[in-house]
Chain A
Amino acid sequence: MSTTPLDLQSAPKRRLSVPGRHTAPPRPLTDTELTTLLRIADCLIPASGENPAASEADEYLRYLNLALAARADVFDAVLSAVSEAADLHGDDLRAEIKRMWAEDKFTFDPLSSILAGAYFMTPQVKALIGYPGQHRDAAGFEDAANELETGILDPVLERGHFYVSANGE
């Protein structure tokens, strides 16, 4: 039996509590896969008014790669769905996507999350929908005080304390 300082016994350093971040999907998509995936994306997110279709959003492919990488856990299922839709266009494609929505949410939900998630990451769409992204935006020193000075808390204060006393508190 040995008595060894802990620092000499430490295991090789690994990120035990932090997943690795990947910025590319497990493998590049083939041209056929990408073309089909973009058709599905445009079916779910078509152009409407000022809003571009998914495949037409600036830098959509860049963010689609990030999205596929972020959900690498469902990459095979997504590509399986893409493969099944490879020969479908127009109304046939829409019918197949709607069937998947109704009957196979375990494929449809992550597939649609990836396609929509990529769309909402593009700076163009963020600007269009008024989403600045999560970012530092510290409060002004008097913001909270200014809100309370409106008297919004007064009705609560006027009703007074109402807790149930259990021990003479």
Chain B
Amino acid sequence: MTSTDSDVTQHDVVDVLVIGAGPSGAVVTHTAATAGLSTLCLEQGDWVNPSDFPANHPEWELLIQHDWAHDPNVRALPSDYPVDVTESDMWPVMFNAVGGSSIFYGAEWPRLLPSDFRVKTLDGVADDWPISYDDLEPYHDEVDEFIGVSGVDGDTAYPEGLEYPLPPHPLGKPGMKAAEAANKLGWHWWPGTNAIPSQKNKTLEQCGRWGVCEWGCPQGAKASFDLIYMPQAQQAGARVETGARVRRIVTGDDGRAAGAEWVDRTGAVHFQPARAVIVCANGIGTPRLLLLSADEKHPDGLANSSGQVGRNLMLHPNCTAIGYYEDNLESWRGPAGQLIHSMQFYDTDTSRGFVRGAKLHALPTPGPLNTIETHRQLDFDDLWGPAIHDVARAASNGILWAANVEDLPEEHNRVTLSTEEFDADGLPAPKVEYRVSENTRKILKYTVDRMVELHEAAGAKQIFTQELWVDQPGHLLGTARMGDDPATSVVDSHGRAHDVDNLYIADGSIFVTSGSANPTCTISALALRVGKKVVEDVNARKASA
């Protein structure tokens, strides 16, 4: 052991140490625990109850502006660490708790398309993944079955055979109107696929259509990974230690990961030895931790002989077009969650002047104050004074079209360690250096125009567009990319670090390209694949020991 001293509390060795209790951490923890391995998950945040969420309270629309903001720099809870965004076009968001950012996600659950795994081959840009759509398909199926994904089988944007275990949610009035518009234009749409159970499933309640999925479901009816996978992992014997902020992964003389040092909320330092360490700290936190783990043998950070740790950050820039209609669409009703999605503009069409594309989704527009915020770009007298009463009524008449656009990997978009900002434990904050590329800006503009077209086809009376949501991106991808070549990638196709054979990464960091599908679906399937490999490797090592 190279790192412990008398001020550090030493714990008993575990087979599997998972760092981070978000979607990937929960899936890996469950996979290892159910395989009979001793498994510990360290999480810097704590548990959040459905009764804690803002929508339980009448002032919910104000609570989400600060205390429950998506941006950790605004929210600044004890579990959060600052993110240095002084040199970034966008401000990444996340949530630090058991469940991770799935606490706040909309649970939209689209898989990547086959083309996403072969971008280099098809479009001559970025890189191909070392795995294919077919390779990942069985893991998707297993995850979908476990959490109870709701949707309509047979989406024509995908290869045949795509099925979901639970029936879909109703489209509702906003979804029906959005679908009618897509039909009028002859574009693809499909009833929304959501990791929100339309019927009670295991530890998840049936969706009550509260409409506030992205601010925490008050009913526990969303596949937030503190409510699914992690409870089952605990039942299988896994332990979850909350308030445990990992400050570095420690390697031994043999170059392998020996375990991790973490700090509890009293400031006491612990060392947790493990046979395998799996980092699941998201596309910002994971490279930060690997860089924090630099030592004499790994001066540029752990698992970073390629120099790719922290690079190729992809944030899925989002754009929106909100339309307001004459009809009362009861747009306070959920899920939100996607009511419908469209893959019409997903793949490359060179006539558009850019490569790759966007995934579009239609959502409701709950809340009168949120509607006021949407209208702030109006002149004073068009929003305030007597006008406010009509604006408020529009809240029930809205449809939000939003889109993730594909963000190609670029080495200069990266995460490093800040020299200016530090967390409450004195650890350097991650510094995000990110610039929106010209290709991405073209996709954003093109996509906004298409969403406006959808609203016009549906007869919207007023449309508000936003070409780049700077404070939205919770899709944190690419900063420890997978690949077959150790010179150009951080982990192999099973998430195992090329440089450290018992260190694995299972979160969005390992994406090679971003696609434009909401990524938690793919993150979870990848995590299951990584987790099964961890089980196989640990069992093999124990057998040969």
Contacts and interface: CB of A to CB of B under 8 A. Distances in A.
10 contacts: A11-B266, A16-B265, A113-B373, A131-B392, A139-B209, A143-B170, A152-B176, A152-B180, A156-B183, A163-B114
B208 interface: yes
Interface in A66-115: 66-67, 69-71, 73-74, 97-98, 101-102, 109-110, 112-114
Interface in A110-134: 110, 112-114, 116-117, 120-121, 125, 129-134
Given A16-B44, A144-B169, A153 B114 contact: no
A157 B156 contact: yes
Of all A-B residue pairs in the complex, the 6 with the closest CB atoms, nearest first, are A17-B97, A136-B208, A70-B62, A11-B265, A166-B118, A17-B45
Interface stretch (B313-321, B364-372, B456-464, B490-498): B364-372
Contacts of B40: 6
A45 B65 CA distance: 21
Contact of A66 (B59, B134, B157, B209): B59
Nearest to A15: B46
A2 interface: yes
Contacts of A11: 243, 264-266, 268
Contact of A137 (B9, B198, B209, B218): B209
A133 B218 CA distance: 13
B366 A67 contact: no
A134 B366 contact: yes
A69 B55 CA distance: 16
Nearest to A71: B62
Contacts of A12: 265-266
A145 B361 CA distance: 20
Interface string B104-120: 00000000011101100
A6 B211 contact: no
Contacts of A155: 183, 186
B385 A44 contact: yes
A43 B383 CA distance: 12
Interface stretch (B74-82, B274-282, B515-523): B74-82
Interface string B162-200: 000001111100001001101100101111000000100
B10 interface: yes
Interface string A128-169: 011111111111000111011000110111011111111101
Contact of A19 (B75, B347, B366): B75
Most B CB contacts (10 A, CB to CB) among A11, A45, A134 go to: A134
B503 interface: no
A20 to B, nearest CB: 8
Q: How large is the interface on A (under 10, 10 to 19, 20 to 34, 35 or more residues)?
A: 35 or more
Nearest to B159: A169
Contacts of B266: 11-12
A137 B208 CA distance: 5
Contacts of A27: none
Interface string B498-525: 0000000000000000000000000000
Contacts of A30: none
Given A67-B62, A139-B198, A160-B156, A48 B386 contact: yes
Given A69-B59, A152-B183, A14 B243 contact: yes
A130 B389 CA distance: 11
B66 interface: yes
A3 B11 contact: yes
A44 to B, nearest CB: 5
B452 interface: no
Interface string A4-25: 1010011110111111010000
A25 to B, nearest CB: 12
Contact of B113 (A16, A116, A147, A163): A163
B121 to A, nearest CB: 7
Interface string B230-249: 00000000010111000000
Interface of A: 1-4, 6, 9-12, 14-19, 21, 43-46, 48-49, 51, 63, 66-67, 69-71, 73-74, 97-98, 101-102, 109-110, 112-114, 116-117, 120-121, 125, 129-139, 143-145, 147-148, 152-153, 155-157, 159-167, 169
B57 interface: yes
A133 B389 CA distance: 17
A156 B156 contact: yes
Given A9-B264, A164-B115, 6 more contacts: A17-B45, A17-B95, A134-B60, A135-B208, A144-B167, A144-B169
B481 interface: no
A144 to B, nearest CB: 5
A6 B188 CA distance: 53
Contacts of B11: 3-4, 6
A11 B218 CA distance: 28
A161 B159 contact: yes
A113 B375 CA distance: 12
B156 A132 contact: no
Contact of B62 (A113, A161, A163): A113
B102 to A, nearest CB: 13
Interface string B196-208: 0010000000111
B350 interface: no
A16 B43 CA distance: 11
Contacts of A157: 154, 156
B380 A98 contact: yes
Contacts of B52: 18
Most B CB contacts (10 A, CB to CB) among A10, A63, A74, A138 go to: A138
A139 B78 CA distance: 37
Given A144-B167, A147-B171, A164 B347 contact: yes
Contacts of A148: 152, 191
Contacts of A133: 58, 332
B141 interface: no
B29 interface: no
A135 B368 contact: no
Interface string B354-370: 00000000000011110
Interface string B126-164: 000000111000000000000000001010111110000
